[in-house]
Structure 1
Amino acid sequence: MKKFLVIALLVVSLVVLAQPKLTIWCSEKQVDILQKLGEEFKAKYGVEVEVQYVNFQDIKSKFLTAAPEGQGADIIVGAHDWVGELAVNGLIEPIPNFSDLKNFYETALNAFSYGGKLYGIPYAMEAIALIYNKDYVPEPPKTMDELIEIAKQIDEEFGGEVRGFITSAAEFYYIAPFIFGYGGYVFKQTEKGLDVNDIGLANEGAIKGVKLLKRLVDEGILDPSDNYQIMDSMFREGQAAMIINGPWAIKAYKDAGIDYGVAPIPDLEPGVPARPFVGVQGFMVNAKSPNKLLAIEFLTSFIAKKETMYRIYLGDPRLPSRKDVLELVKDNPDVVGFTLSAANGIPMPNVPQMAAVWAAMNDALNLVVNGKATVEEALKNAVERIKAQIQ
């Protein structure tokens, strides 16, 4: 009998020692809330969740080193534009379909998709929107024609002391909503993923979008020298009525005492929405982890739920990736405005070839707004330059 008890105790000890543990790498903002959720998961499922803080800039490089050896975190929290590189190297595991997927914004899911497969659970989005000073613009314009009309009235009324509208005139990130809204694209989306050899930055839609920018310059609403610093400082000082900027700027405007509002960027034409770049944060599973099935279960059956996502929002208040979570925070008009803008948007391409795009497009826009090249010439040359760098 005593021998049996010893064997039984030994078996129990081995089970306890062999009990799997999930390790999560995340940046500082997610640590507290994920630790609390991990404790709840352990209480319910008996699985320990260890949350480790890693500087955001170091998560991907550290994971690239550790994961091929079957080491490192079981789950990482990071940006969607890591997905292409990590998926190609076989380091993150596809997420199978689960019932709650229908409740996520399509933009957020597309951001974590590669080659027709979902490689992460998105929890937060980021995109630019129209920010307006209510002292000059009580209600936001619905179309760009309305914006232009309001901006001209303000320019005339205040004699240049207050600008009606400003954005960063020669910066691709801020002009992309015009290009994408009219049908331009960076890389063609196919069933197998992004085709980096099919670049749509000089197609008919892209040309039409940049011509809208040129119109704003030609009609004196934008100045070729307008940049982020000018836009941001003038709005903060109450000298700009409308700008296009992101949620990162809001605190400074609040601190400055600006009575502002946030709304989606006006339609380019009635029924033609502007489509900004969207950045998405989410959870990815280490494909080499011995605990990957448990990690997927943790994400799909616990983290991805409405209640959990809402608590993550409360702990790290960014634009929610679930539509029903937005309903829970609809009393925050800033979050609603930016989220609706993001819902119209295009995920930043999650492939390394995107690095070749920025300088080429910024230079093209600079030439256009300064009258040194036609829209068609500038965009054609930019695409040729991007293709050359990719090749």
Structure 2
Amino acid sequence: MKKVLILGLIFMLGTVSLFSATLTVWSSEAQVNFMRRIGQEFTRDTGINVDVQMVTFGDIKSKFLTAAQAGEGPDIIVGAHDWVGELVINGLLEPIPMSAIELDKFADSAIQGFTYQGRLYGVPYATEAVALFYNRDYISDEEVPTNINEIKALAKEFTTDETVGFAVTASDFYHVYGFISGFGGYVFGYDPRTGYNVNNLGLNNEGAIKAGYLLKSFFDEGIMPQGMNYNIMDSMFMDGLAAMIINGPWAVKNYLDAGIDFGVIPLTKIEVEPGKTMKPFVGVQGLMINSRSQNKAFAMEFVINYLATAEGVYQFYIADPRLPSRTDVAQIIAEQGGPVPAEIVAAFTESAAGGEPMPNIPEMQSVWQPMADALNNIINGVQTPEAALNDAVSKIRSALK
């Protein structure tokens, strides 16, 4: 099948020198080595070189925006679905024909994440959502919490001068969105027929304010120390000094390698109030093609027929163990194994299934900084949750205008 498609490309491109073409890919560290291996296979089959360059994940989008608008930069980027709206508005992503991929093999939420205004702008390889990790040296499987009050009680039991009972990156909107949504807060109002209503903001409603007070209480009650951030939380759990944390599937392999005996609880099983459970943000990772690339046909071939196949998505999973976007990869994992125990994969899958996709519209870019500022002011006692969230929504509205 690949050879037929490649011959078709050669026929269509005619005078283009295949052997002088080079595909450039920007990827974060986790995927670089295996993508280079697949790139070598692509080169053997086509004669087209593949240059996979490591770029820090947090820098890929901003650097791509600058480079691509100047007619430079990579042919392919590895990134998140919530970049799509902004990149499409700037004319930087090439739509991918839905007929070219095996749509029925991909999770619906993964395809939806990369769909914007009815067109597909990326091929997903993984989905992700945060969940609650617990260290079995502190908490047995029979003692796992089912609500916030139980989390607090267990956390206080295991908080000492050297250990923390519970930790979350409280100033990071992505990590704490489950608290906000659990109480009934939301970013933009959503209608399946019409999409997001950016004039309907739910980040300072009654539920969001309740979440703000809850987050502040973790510090006021001595459960988490001021200054807790992602690196500290991550290191403490890896060193066996944290009983419970909220983190994502990207951290699993490091914790396994560190020898931590842990379990994972979907946030969708944690009640913030009776009958109301947490709903984490769901993210989708995928491959996007530069619309200004001179090698779009080759990039499409590499993405669709080498990286987004069942075997390719399985290799993504091995390198970066998030939840595979293709449903048929589960069978490969069952047959060949993987770096993450099946029960942990199942827990994260459940957390993602009950979560809320991050809006992929460009207006979402106006949300992150005001919410980060608001959360910092809340947990540091600079503003009340009401004042901080009202200010955040005011800033978001101004930015959207």
Same fold (TM over 0.5): yes
Is 1:281–2:285 an aligned residue pair?
Answer: yes
| Pairing partner for 1:235 from 234, 237, 244 | 237
Alpha-carbon distance in structure 1 between the residues aligned to 2:223 and 2:323 = 29
Write the letter of the residue equivalent to 1:109: I
Alpha-carbon distance in structure 2 between the residues aligned to 1:65 and 1:151 = 45
Q: CA deviation at 1:193?
A: 5.8
User: 1:375/1:141 Cα in 2 relative to 1: closer, same or farther (>3 Å)?
Assistant: farther
| Pairing partner for 1:138 from 137, 140, 165 | 140
| Pairing partner for 1:320 from 319, 324, 329 | 324
CA contact (8 A) 2:159 2:223 kept: no
| Pairing partner for 1:383 from 384, 393, 401 | 393
CA contact (8 A) 2:32 2:53 kept: no
Could you tell me which residue of structure 2 aligns to residue 267 of structure 1? 270
Alpha-carbon distance in structure 2 between the residues aligned to 1:176 and 1:67 = 32
User: 1:304/1:141 Cα in 2 relative to 1: closer, same or farther (>3 Å)?
Assistant: farther
Alpha-carbon distance in structure 1 between the residues aligned to 2:233 and 2:375 = 17
Q: How does 1:180-195 map to 2 (within 5 A)?
A: 180-189=181-190, 194-195=196-197
| Pairing partner for 1:329 from 330, 333, 352 | 333
Q: Secondary structure at the match of 2:226?
A: coil
Gaps of 5+ in 1: 1-11
| Pairing partner for 2:247 from 232, 245, 248 | 245
Write the letter of the residue equivalent to 1:50: N
Write the letter of the residue equivalent to 2:53: V
Q: How does 1:71-220 map to 2 (within 5 A)?
A: 73-98=74-99, 100-139=102-141, 144-145=146-147, 148-149=149-150, 151-153=152-154, 155-156=156-157, 163-189=164-190, 194-213=196-215, 220=221
Q: CA deviation digits over 1:129-186, x for unaligned, max 9? A: 21101122222777642x5326415634887875443323444333211112344322
Q: Secondary structure at the match of 1:323?
A: coil
Structure with bigger gyration radius:
1
TM-score computed with the length of structure 2 as normaliser: 0.74
**Where in structure 1 do 4 or more consecutive aligned residues deviate above 6 Å?**
140-143, 157-161
User: 1:140/1:42 Cα in 2 relative to 1: closer, same or farther (>3 Å)?
Assistant: farther
User: 1:112/1:259 Cα in 2 relative to 1: closer, same or farther (>3 Å)?
Assistant: same
CA contact (8 A) 1:116 1:192 kept: no
User: 1:178/1:161 Cα in 2 relative to 1: closer, same or farther (>3 Å)?
Assistant: same
Superposition RMSD in Å = 4.0
Q: CA deviation at 1:382?
A: 1.9
Alpha-carbon distance in structure 2 between the residues aligned to 1:61 and 1:374 = 33
Write the letter of the residue equivalent to 2:308: A
User: 1:304/1:24 Cα in 2 relative to 1: closer, same or farther (>3 Å)?
Assistant: same
Q: Secondary structure at the match of 1:90?
A: coil
Q: Secondary structure at the match of 2:92?
A: coil
TM-score computed with the length of structure 1 as normaliser: 0.75
Write the letter of the residue equivalent to 2:286: G
User: 1:201/1:327 Cα in 2 relative to 1: closer, same or farther (>3 Å)?
Assistant: farther
Q: CA deviation at 1:119?
A: 0.6
Q: CA deviation at 1:112?
A: 2.0
Write the letter of the residue equivalent to 1:95: I
Write the letter of the residue equivalent to 2:328: D
Could you tell me which residue of structure 2 aligns to residue 26 of structure 1? 26
Q: Count residues with an aligned counterpart.
A: 375
Write the letter of the residue equivalent to 1:52: D
